Every structure is written in structure tokens, then in C-alpha cells.
A and B are shown apart, each in its own frame.
Chain A
Amino acid sequence: MLKSIYFYEIKHWLKQPSTYLFVSIMFLFGLGAMALTADITGDYSNIEKGSRRFANAPFSIASLLFDFNLFIQFIVPIFIAGSLYRDYSSKMFMILYSYPIKKRDYLFGKFLSSVSICFIIVLFLFLGMFLGSVLPWVNQAMITSNSIAAYIRPLFLIAVPNIAITAMLVYAAVIASRSIYAGFITALLVLLLRRILVFMLSGPDNQTLVALFDLFAQAPVFMAARYWTPEQMNMLNIPISNMIIYNRLIWLGFSSLIFTRAYQKFAFTQSILSGNIFRKTLRRKNYQSAIPKSKTQDVTDISFSFSFITQVRAAWRMSVFEFRNILLSRTFLALLVGSLIFMYLLLAQANPQYTTRIYPLTQVMLMVPSLFFSFIIGLITFLYAGILIHKDRTTDIHQLVDVTPISNPVLLGSKFLALIKIQAVLLSVIMVVGVLVQSIRGYYHFEIDLYLFDLYAVSLIGLVIWAMLGFFVQTLLPNQYVGFFLLILFSIGIGGLESIGIKPDIFKFNAAPILEYSDLNGYGNQLRSYFAHKLYWLLLGGILLILTFLFWVRGFAQNFPERVVTALKRSSKPVMAGSSALLLAFLSMGFMLYHSAYPGTEDISEKELRAHTSGVIKKFGNLRNIIQPRLSGVNINMNIFPEERNYTSNGTLVFVNKSEQAIDTLIIAYPANTNSEYLLGVNFEVLVSDSLLNLDILKLQDPLLPKDSLFLEFSTNDIPGTFFLSNSKVIENGTFMLAELFTVGMPDNENTHTLPSNPKASENSYVGKNVDPFDFEAVVSTSKDQIALAPGELAAQWQENGRNYFRYKSSRKIRNGIVFNSGVFEVKREHVNGVDLEIYHHPTHTFNLERMMEAMKATLAFSEKTYTPYQFKQMRIIEFPKTYGNFAQSFANTIPYSEFAGFISKEDTFSKNRFDQVFRLVAHEMAHQWWGHQVVPSNALGSRIITEGLAEYTSIEILGEKYGEEAKQLYLELISDRLQRSIARTPNKSTPLVFARPDQDILNYQKAALTYYAFQKIIGKDNFHHGLQNFIEKYRLRSSPYPTSLDLVNELRNVTPDSFQHIISDFFESDTTSVNKILVKQKKF
């Protein structure tokens, strides 16, 4: 019997067009993904051989499979739930259940057959991948020979168990509820569950747990391959590791349990399993009068109205009715409860960063869930768009509804409103849980207005636009499950447009600039552009809704040509006029948005620019290394206008001829992206004025003699933005911008970092050509409510024309890099050892001020003791909004510091897996005042192991002094893990530290710090610090020649006992990877 049910079902599915649709989609997915992966890597000649990962390598195949998990997840309920639900919806079950079929045969027959179909569909995904790898025109360099195991293992280790797990859970849900939607909601809840588990367990120490509980088995696979080299990734099969086996067993066991429970409860009855307790049982009367109450006349006086206003009110009432029905359905309740739990766990944890917790500010509550949850609400929108549109048909009430005199737009509108109400309810989950979490964590500064605006003004619009698309697609397609799937496909496909070269938002449905909220400057400059884009999409959505109206099914289903005829009939003049107006508005809005985002038709392509540049270089090649005067003084007036988002500046640059010869040719480069002019105090003749490269080549009438100075007066103003787009660095509150200065000499346009052994290397520092540390003075003005900052001591402060003015003057020369900040700040100050320590912060961001202050004091104490005295009289940390990013950076006596890099993080002094990250980061940045500002290294390779490496090392030592060995150890483990992962990814022969390129962050930070640390352990802390002290004293606060990594190693060599001399080259100069040695050492720490 099981067999015949099984084959009957298989035959049924094979008769469905949708089966073939999914088979072909999956096949094309596989084919396309494989071909694209091989080709997208494109210019493969650039990829070093060692790091090339073949598109059809076992690990690549597994990765592709993980990418398609989401689709598989929603194909499963279509078949699994569909197989059972078919019998309920066709009422066939009334007949079927009376047949002498065994429950086992019935349930397993259906289950196994639909799982088989899912299996076949996934099989075609793999077939597609295989075929994609053997297509003749696919980039053969990215393809290796196919091995069976590379396909079989992911299929049977990952895909098939995943299908089985979801299938069992979905099946159980459908058995229990007899609703196909319960199947989809279950699939969705499984997604949420996985996300919760992975999220809650994530953390450096929980990798094993995540690997066990990731029910898609992605984590255990990635864990096994964590330290694989690209070569291993190309060669090794997905291991059948214990972790993967246990993972599969756990989840298969869990879902079997649920499945068994539902199986046991299943009975061939005519009513639903459970939940009947709430239902009122019908009172059966023994006798009902056969004669109705007589109706001689119409008792009630009623009136009918079809006016516009009553129709609108009717639409609202009907939407209330629809909404109420959905709200009270068990599937939706399950969804709501699931979302609440998910959101609670997500927000209660709220640690987007690795080891950091964040205070439950409202902006954090809104930021954390935004991406994933709005994706989930999007899925729900697609699902309920189908449910609402097909509901009258699935419940078979449509004949009653369709003969009523309600107009189609009202019917459509009421359902659309109901869908938006569903979205609003789901969005409110974020607010409810957010406020709950805030209260639980004792944070009572609820910004309800921010919640409301972010959820119902910002987020809801996007969802409404998705709803419009959902309605259109679900109306057009007769099969709502196919519609649901295609909508998911479409929404995800949009994300992939960028990878095939489509960048502008106006070509990506429902795309808009990403909004970043900050407590300092709110949504900032993006809000206007965001709403403009959303309006643009709403216009398209309006057109889609009109199309939905035209194709709305009233009465009995028609075939497509008939529907087109109906649609044409419905295209009355007002409808045509309305849609033409919408279309016109949509197109002109798109045109406008495109031009505000990509202004200037005179923009030349990158290729042309490159050709031009090389032409100029060829022509003036001899000018590249021409001797130029060097910048040695800056005096600047900077006027910041936060409201206008604009600045103006002017001032004087002093250039000194520090060479032995007279200079008669001057190359002056304009600051990029500004409106700038200059005046020279001498007579000159313009040889070349190149507007593309933004530089002038001048011939001085009287050559600049050695030691003579040249004064350049400049004015540099911001380029005004367009209505929708402003590229100004100035923002409403919390501006953080670097001064754009004129420079002299031919700009280096590629990375021309020389070896440190090259004597030329020491001519220029790593922060600019022909620039030496300079005298600095500035007057900064800003609006009257803000404080403006620049490096140096505050010499004067006054008000003028309703604006605040500040004069800063540095007592010492400063290294290049002039930073300006402006904002409404509160200041925390301390005075320690003659140094003013100040923190400029947003008034409510007071959580970590104490830690920051402690870190500054500790760094000051440690570095003055270990290295040299601090060179300035003040040290400032200045908060900036996350609009600029999530980092901190060190300038002369100034550390601009992102609100998200520590101002609102919740730090534990030291507990399991957590340490004071803010303390460490401040220490690192402040250590740069020594490593980077006292010692300014050369522009050669390896220089950043001096700045970043030693700053990192210093911060580790200070962390240890403050919080003890354990905290230090934890941080060391963290960075060595990062180092190991990175080495595994790029094992191509390791660069010696002394030659590390500036962009090799892992070498400059993690590897350098670990190496110093290991080296220090070997030669002794005192020796090591003594060497550093010698180094810094030798090169402190000087101009060219600038020190290189080799100079540092020399100083270290001098303090290394003879017995350890050999390890110096091992650690710093060897190109064999010394990581293992370092790591071995580290284990012994």
C-alpha cells in the first residue's frame, strides 16, 4: 500500500508544471553559479596561483550549496506541506480517510514521495553545478578536474539531511494544523531558530557549540576548514568530521522526535487534531421549526451607498475584517510568538562586535535587527500577499464576494491595507521587545519618537513597496507558492545586480541609500535621498497596483489571453491617464535621481584618466623626482557651517628649500574634490596647467635659493552638493574632517614603496611627499552651539557674528594630518603630569568616559616611563558619529573616536571571553603619539610595523598592567587566531615583517605585535624596551632622513644578547613563515 501511495504521489507531482519549474530553476542556479564563480574572478592572471580557489573544488561546491539553502528551505514546504494539504483542500480526505489505508502507509507514502521530489530538485542543483564546470567556454583556469566526492559529500552530508530535517518539522506542523501556511511558517521559523542559535552561541569560545547547533551544518563545515590553505580548499573533501556527524544526528533526532509526536497524534478523523478546546460546540436542537418567521414586509429600513467616501470607509472596514482573521489565525500567532522570542534573544544579546556588548540605546535596538528581521518581514509579506489574494478562492467564498457590488479597487485596497497592517504589527515587535530589553537592562531613556519614526516612516515604506510587488506577482500568477518562490528569488537577485555591474540604485527595485542613524547627527544627510528613492519606487509600486487592478480576477478564472482582454476593457480613460502620470513621474524622478547621484557628464572614464595620466608622466617623467621645497608651516582659517553642510577655508603654507640647490620649477597639486585657488608671493610663468590631474607646473622667475621660504596663500572651499547628494565631510553635528592642502611635487599615483634598504626611502615619511613635520596654527569657527577642534593648544576663544571661534596653536611641530572636529560636545577633563586629558563626547554617551580616561593615564604613564616624554601639552579624544565609520585614529594630540568604537559599548573589566576593549583601543591610539608621531617612519615597506605593530604591542603591555595576565592572554589568543585564519587564506610565501606592505594589515598589526611579544619573551622585557627607547630617542621628532623598519631592527639587534642574535633574522627578516615559531612561543606564555 505504501508503495502504491508513494508512486501515485510521485506521478502526481510529475504532472505538475511547478515541479518542472523548480527543477529548472535549481538546475540553472547550479549551472549559473558555477559558471559565474569561475568567471567573476575574472582577471585570474592577477590571482596568485596559491590563493586561487577553483570554482568546482569541494569546498566551493559546499559554499555554493549554503548560498542556496534559503531557496531549498522554501521549496520543501511547497511539496511536503502540499502533499498533505492537497487532500484537505480538495476535501478528498473525507473519502480517503474512510478507506482501509493504514496510517503508516498514508503518512509515510506522502512524506517519502514529497521528500523524493525535493531530493530530485536538489539533485538538479548539483547536476547544474557539474555541467557548469564542464561548459566549454567557462574559464578553465578556475576549474579543476571534477571529483565525484566533491559533489556527493555535500549532497548527502548537507543537502539531504537539511531537507529531511525541515521536511519532518514542516510535515508535523501540517499534520497538526491542516494548514499549508503552517508549513511555510514552520520553514520560516526554522530559519529564525537557526539564526538565534548561531547568534546566541557565537563567540570565540563557543565555536564547537555553534558547529553542533547550526542546523544547516554550515558552521561545522566552516569550522573544519577554518585553517585550511587555499590549496587544501582546492584538494580536500568536506571532512566527515565528528562535529558534522553529531550535528546531523542532533537535528535529525530532534526533528524525528517532533515528527513522531505528530505521527502518533494523527488520526483519520474529519476534524483538526487539537485546539478544539476553544471552539464552541454547536447546540443541536431536537426540533427546529420548518416554517420560518413570517416575513410580510421588510422590517428594517436600510439604505445603500456607493459614494467614494463610503467606498473608502468600506475598504478600511474590510481590511479590519481581513486583518482580524489573520491576526487570530494560529499560523500568524506562531509567527508572532516566534518573532518576539527571536527579537528578544537578538536584542538582549546585542553584540554585533566580536567580544563587545553595547548599551541598549534606542539606536542600537533599531540597528541590530534591521537587516535580518526586515528580510524576514519581507518573506512574510510575500507569503501573505499570496494568502490574501488567493484566500477567497482557497476558501471557496469568492462566488459570494464577487457578485456583490463592491468595486475591484476597494477589494484590492482592503487586502492591501490588511497586508500593511500585518507589516506594522511585525515592526511593532521590534519596538515592544526593544523597550522591554531596555527596561530589563535598566536603561530607561526610551526614545519612542525615534522608534516610531524609524519603524513606521523609514522601514515601513520599503515594506509597502515590497507588498505592491507581491500583490502584482500574486495576482498575475495562478499558483501562489510559485509566486512566493519567485518573489524571494527576485528580491535576492537584486542583491546580485551589483556583481554584474549594475550599480545605480534606480535600477535595483526598492533600493535606496543605506541609512545610518547616529545619536550625534541623526539620519544625517541621507534621509532626503532615502525618501526620494522610496518615493520613486512608490511611483512604480503605484503602477504595479494599477496593473494588479487590471488583472484582478473577478468571477471565474480565465486563461491569460482572456485576462488580457479583461484588462484592456478595464483600462478606462482615467486609469490610463493615472498610470501615464505615474509612469511619467516615475521616469522623470529616476532621471533626476540618476543625475544627482552621477552628476557631471564631463566625467571621464577611469580608463581615459589612466591613459591621460601615463601620457603626462611620460611627458614629464623627469619631473617625478625633481627637488621641491618642503612644507614646514601651516596657518589655516577654517570655517565650518554645520547647518549648510559646508566649509570655507584659507591660509598660508610655508615651503622651505631644504636642498643644497636653487629650485626653479614648481609642481603644485590642487587638493582633490574642492574649489581651490592659490597665490604665490613670487613671479612665475605657468608651463602646464592640467585640469584632469589637477596640477600646475610653474617656472619661477627667481629660483628659490637654499634655505629660502616660499609662501603659498590659498583658499579652499567645499564643493556644493546637489539637493539629494552632498559629499561634504561637514555634517550637522559631529563633523570629522581632514584638511585638504595644496602639495608640491608630482603626486605618486601608484604605490611606489621602496625597500627600506634603499637610501631614497628615508627622504619622505609615510604621511606625504615633500612634507616634514610643520608648525601649525589654526582659527576654526563653527555654529554657536558647537565646539570646533584642531590640533594644538587652545590659545583663544571668542564669538563673532553669532559663531564660535577657536584659535589653536601647536607648541611643537606636528606630523602631517590636520584634523578638524565640530560638534555639540560635553567635555570630561583631567590634568595629569602637566598634560590636559580631555574627552569631547555626545552629552548622553557617558558610559565609558572613565575607562577612556584611565587608558589615557595608563598609556601616558607607561610610555613616559618606558619610552620618552609625551611631546604635547594636551591629549583629546573626540567622538564622531558612525556616519564616518567604526574606528578611531590618532592625529597630533587628537584621537577622533567613533561612537560605535567604544562610546556606547558595555565593557567588562575582565570576565570570561571579555576584556576591556575600549581601554585597549584607546591605549593603542594613544601609543601612536609615540609610534607614528614622535617616531615618524619613512615611506618604505615595513614602516607600519613600527607604527601599528609597536602601538599594538604597547597596548597589549598596558592591558596586562591594568587588568593582569589573563586579560592580556585573551587578547593575544584573539589576535593569533585572526593571524592563523588569515595565513591559511593567503599562504603564498609570507612577506618578511620588515618588508610588509602598508596594506598588509594582518602583518602590520597582528603578526608584528605577536612577533614583538615573542621576541620580548626571549630576550627579556628590559632589553627589548631598552632597544625601543634607543630607537625612539634616536629618531624622535625629526625630519628626513626618516627611520625604516631596518633601523628598528638594528636597534633591537644592539640590545639582543649574542646567544639570541640568530632569531632576529628569523623573526623579522626571514621570508619563511615564522608564524609557527611565534605561536609555539606564545603557547608558553
Chain B
Amino acid sequence: MSNLIVKELSKTYQNGVKALNNLSLEIGTGMFGLLGPNGAGKSTLMRTIATLQQPDSGCISFQEIDVLTHPMELRKILGYLPQEFGVYPKVSAEKLLDYFATLKGIASAKQRAAISQEVLELTNLYDDRRKSVSDYSGGMKQRFGIAQLLLNRPKLIIVDEPTAGLDPAERKRFLNVLREVGTQNTVLFSTHIVDDVHELCNDMAIVNHGQVLKKSTPEQAINELEGKIWATKTSPDELGSYKNKTLVLSSNFSSDNSLIIRVYSNTKPDRHFSAESPTLEDVYFCVLQSKEHTGQSYA
């Protein structure tokens, strides 16, 4: 069942950038990963769903709510964590959460205190609740971002590239929190870190140039590439010739300074290649590359 339905959304900015190009998407319960390179239109899409921005055309609905005409109804059940945010200086987490709880319509002081404590504990910030959020470390601040979005028991949660800039431990901690809240609700989660999606999401879409290039579950997408991913060692000079012959998905230098390339091919390109088991990263590059090279999707 689809909870969030985005239909034919378009948005062109004043400077001529077409951020959303007739984009349609249906999202059900659970964690939904939105993958795409920088500038793909992810943030525009999320802001538009989060009622922060108006599209030029299209419509959005979430569980019977027409988001564009009744933004207030969505805001009541929305939790949103933008890519970047600041806070008022010298205000403690506790006070700030109380403020947000007021903004989110909790009238009783007792309930505000209770829910604040709940989300602080959930995000592991309870011990630091009296400190200024402006003095928090990056990871703590991101967790605070999650804490504030949970205050209204949101049914739709939108998080925009939340793991960027977190150290591995903080990232783990953050993803765990997100997993915890994501099971019963719809969570739209954008990232360009493929592993985040792999670890968390039961559904995903890859977007670029304001369009959805692929939508499926991570497992299914990987399965589709089974037997079609090949790798070999080569040198930088030969990379060009491979690029002409095959669809090169990625190239990495190994520790002995040789270049390992992964390519997509229905058959083994030549004898130097060996078969590899596909990863989500392969899916990601495959979708982006095939579109750019051939103008059509591989699938």
C-alpha cells in the first residue's frame, strides 16, 4: 500500500535549473532510500514534500492528505530533518525541545516534558539535555535533529542526507536510531552513501536530473545484476579503451597501485575479467551511467 504518492512533480528554479522533471513516486510504510548524486533534485523533492517549497506543477498526497493544498494537515504528522540546520545560540536541548513541542501543538507542559525526555533518551542525549545545542558535536546535533522531529509522533519522516559528515561510530548510532523509529512509519531518507540504504531501507529509488531512474527494493535491484558484473585489473592507460567497449561502473586503485575496474555486461567482456557478485553500489552506478551513456535505462 502506498502512503506517499508524488505525481508528476516539476520545479524549475529562477536560474533555469530544472530540479524536478515530471517526477512521480509512490512510497509505502518502512524505510525508503532516495539515492542520487549531488544536485539530482533530492533536496528539492524532500523540501517540496515537507511543505517548504511549492512545485510548479504536480501533486503530492500522504494518506488522504493533499499536501500542497493542506500543508498544515501534513505538518501535524510530519517529522523533517533538513540537510543542514542551526539552532538558537545558548539554548539547552531541553528548552529547545520544549519550544518545538509547543510549535507542534502539545499544549500540556507535563506532556511536553514527558515527550522531551522520551526523545532525549531515545537519541541518547538525555545526559546532555541541559547543554546548549549550539555546543553539541556534529553527531549529537544530528541526533538532536532526530529528537526534535519525533516530538509529534510523526507518521511521515523525511531526513535529508543525515549521515554526511558523521564519524563511523556516530553514523552507526544515528542509523540505529532511525531504524528504531522507522519500522511503523514512512521514512523517506536521502543519501548519496549507498551503504546507508543497503543497511536500512526496504525500498529505494535512484534519482538524477529531477527524475526517478529506478525504483525497487535493494535486494531485487542487486539480484537483477546477478551474473552481469565483471571486474579486472588494468592500467589507467587502458581505461579509455574499456570505456569505449563496455559500461564501466567504477574504477578503484588497489593497494598495489593497479587499477581495478568493474563493468556491466551481459556476457563476460574478455578473458581478463572475472565474475563478481553485484553490490548496491553497482546498481547505483549502473543506473546513473547507463542513463548518461545510452540515454536509456539498463533494466
Choice from B53, B76, B78, B152 contacting A555 with Cβ under 8 Å: B53
Contact (A318, B114) CB under 8 Å given A282-B131, A292-B180, A395-B88:
no
Contact (A293, B121) CB under 8 Å given A283-B127, A302-B153, A397-B86:
yes
A298 to chain B, nearest CB (A): 6
Choice from A305, A391, A396 contacting B105 with Cβ under 8 Å: A305
> Interface with A: B170-178, B256-264, B276-284, which one?
B170-178
Which A residues are CB-close (under 8 A) to B131?
280, 282
> Interface with A: B2-10, B89-97, B224-232, B237-245, which one?
B89-97
Contact-size category for B: 35 or more
Main secondary structure of the interface of A (DSSP, over half): loop
B285 at the interface (CB under 8 A from A): no
Which A residues are CB-close (under 8 A) to B130?
280
A206 at the interface (CB under 8 A from B): no
Contact-size category for A: 35 or more
**Is A401 in contact with B103, judged by CB distance below 8 angstroms?**
yes
**Is B180 in contact with A400, judged by CB distance below 8 angstroms?**
no
Can you give 7 A-B contacts (C-beta < 8 A)? A289-B173, A290-B173, A292-B123, A305-B105, A314-B103, A396-B84, A400-B85
Which B residues are CB-close (under 8 A) to A290?
169, 172-173, 176
Q: Which residue of A lies closest to B152 (CB)?
A: A304
**Is A406 in contact with B103, judged by CB distance below 8 angstroms?**
yes
Which B residues are CB-close (under 8 A) to A404?
75, 100, 103-104, 152
B148 at the interface (CB under 8 A from A): yes
Cα of A239 to Cα of B124 in the assembled complex, Å: 71
B250 at the interface (CB under 8 A from A): no
Which A residues are CB-close (under 8 A) to B180?
292, 294-295
> Interface with A: B26-34, B44-52, B186-194, B201-209, which one?
B44-52
A317 at the interface (CB under 8 A from B): yes
Cα of A305 to Cα of B152 in the assembled complex, Å: 11
**Is B105 in contact with A310, judged by CB distance below 8 angstroms?**
yes
Choice from B14, B80, B102 contacting A399 with Cβ under 8 Å: B80
Q: Which residue of A lies closest to B123 (CB)?
A: A292
Q: Which residue of A lies closest to B160 (CB)?
A: A399
B111 to chain A, nearest CB (A): 5
Choice from B99, B128, B169 contacting A282 with Cβ under 8 Å: B128
Cα of A303 to Cα of B53 in the assembled complex, Å: 28
Which B residues are CB-close (under 8 A) to A559?
14
**Is A403 in contact with B51, judged by CB distance below 8 angstroms?**
yes
Q: Which residue of A lies closest to B53 (CB)?
A: A556
**Is A325 in contact with B104, judged by CB distance below 8 angstroms?**
no
Q: Which residue of A lies closest to B143 (CB)?
A: A292
**Is B173 in contact with A292, judged by CB distance below 8 angstroms?**
yes
Cα of A1079 to Cα of B99 in the assembled complex, Å: 73
Choice from A302, A318, A325 contacting B111 with Cβ under 8 Å: A302
**Is A292 in contact with B88, judged by CB distance below 8 angstroms?**
no
A328 at the interface (CB under 8 A from B): yes
Q: Which residues of B contact A (CB under 8 A)?
A: 14, 47, 50-54, 72, 75-76, 78, 80, 82, 84-91, 95, 99-100, 102-108, 111, 114-115, 117-118, 121-124, 127-128, 130-132, 135-137, 145, 148, 152-153, 169, 172-173, 176-177, 180-181
**Is A399 in contact with B169, judged by CB distance below 8 angstroms?**
no
Cα of A300 to Cα of B152 in the assembled complex, Å: 11
7 more CB-based (< 8 A) A-B contacts, given A290-B173, A403-B50: A282-B137, A317-B102, A397-B86, A400-B100, A404-B75, A405-B76, A555-B51
Choice from B85, B90, B181 contacting A295 with Cβ under 8 Å: B181
Which B residues are CB-close (under 8 A) to A321?
95, 99, 102
Q: Which residue of B lies closest to A285 (CB)?
A: B127
Which A residues are CB-close (under 8 A) to B80?
399-400, 403
**Is B135 in contact with A279, judged by CB distance below 8 angstroms?**
yes
Cα of A363 to Cα of B113 in the assembled complex, Å: 47
**Is B172 in contact with A405, judged by CB distance below 8 angstroms?**
no
Which A residues are CB-close (under 8 A) to B117?
300
Which A residues are CB-close (under 8 A) to B100?
400-401, 404
A693 to chain B, nearest CB (A): 70
Which B residues are CB-close (under 8 A) to A613?
none
Cα of A279 to Cα of B92 in the assembled complex, Å: 11
Cα of A955 to Cα of B75 in the assembled complex, Å: 80
B138 to chain A, nearest CB (A): 12
Which B residues are CB-close (under 8 A) to A679?
none
Total number of residue pairs linking A and B with CB closer than 8 Å: 151
B167 to chain A, nearest CB (A): 12
Contact (A396, B85) CB under 8 Å given A310-B107, A314-B107:
yes
**Is B90 in contact with A303, judged by CB distance below 8 angstroms?**
no
B142 to chain A, nearest CB (A): 13
B95 to chain A, nearest CB (A): 7
A407 at the interface (CB under 8 A from B): yes
Cα of A282 to Cα of B141 in the assembled complex, Å: 13
Which A residues are CB-close (under 8 A) to B122?
292-293, 295
Q: Which residue of B lies closest to A403 (CB)?
A: B80
**Is A405 in contact with B75, judged by CB distance below 8 angstroms?**
yes
Contact (A300, B76) CB under 8 Å given A555-B52, A556-B53:
no
**Is B52 in contact with A399, judged by CB distance below 8 angstroms?**
yes
Which B residues are CB-close (under 8 A) to A291?
176
Which A residues are CB-close (under 8 A) to B85?
396-397, 399-400
**Is B102 in contact with A318, judged by CB distance below 8 angstroms?**
yes
Which B residues are CB-close (under 8 A) to A401?
100, 103
Which B residues are CB-close (under 8 A) to A295?
122, 180-181
Which B residues are CB-close (under 8 A) to A310?
105, 107
Cα of A524 to Cα of B12 in the assembled complex, Å: 63
B176 to chain A, nearest CB (A): 6
Choice from B52, B91, B104, B173 contacting A405 with Cβ under 8 Å: B104
Q: Which residue of A lies closest to B128 (CB)?
A: A282
Which B residues are CB-close (under 8 A) to A554?
52
**Is B148 in contact with A400, judged by CB distance below 8 angstroms?**
yes
B87 to chain A, nearest CB (A): 5
B68 to chain A, nearest CB (A): 11
**Is B106 in contact with A292, judged by CB distance below 8 angstroms?**
no
**Is B89 in contact with A395, judged by CB distance below 8 angstroms?**
yes
Which B residues are CB-close (under 8 A) to A304?
76, 104-107, 152
B51 to chain A, nearest CB (A): 6
Cα of A407 to Cα of B72 in the assembled complex, Å: 8
**Is B153 in contact with A403, judged by CB distance below 8 angstroms?**
no
Q: Give 1 or 0 for each of A735-753: 1 = CB within 8 Å of chain B CB.
A: 0000000000000000000
A299 at the interface (CB under 8 A from B): yes
**Is B86 in contact with A395, judged by CB distance below 8 angstroms?**
yes
Most chain-B CB neighbours within 10 Å: which of A288, A325, A405? A405
Which B residues are CB-close (under 8 A) to A713?
none
**Is A555 in contact with B47, judged by CB distance below 8 angstroms?**
yes
**Is B124 in contact with A300, judged by CB distance below 8 angstroms?**
no
Cα of A285 to Cα of B84 in the assembled complex, Å: 25
A323 to chain B, nearest CB (A): 12
B224 to chain A, nearest CB (A): 33
Which A residues are CB-close (under 8 A) to B95?
321
A884 at the interface (CB under 8 A from B): no
Which A residues are CB-close (under 8 A) to B52?
399, 402-403, 554-556
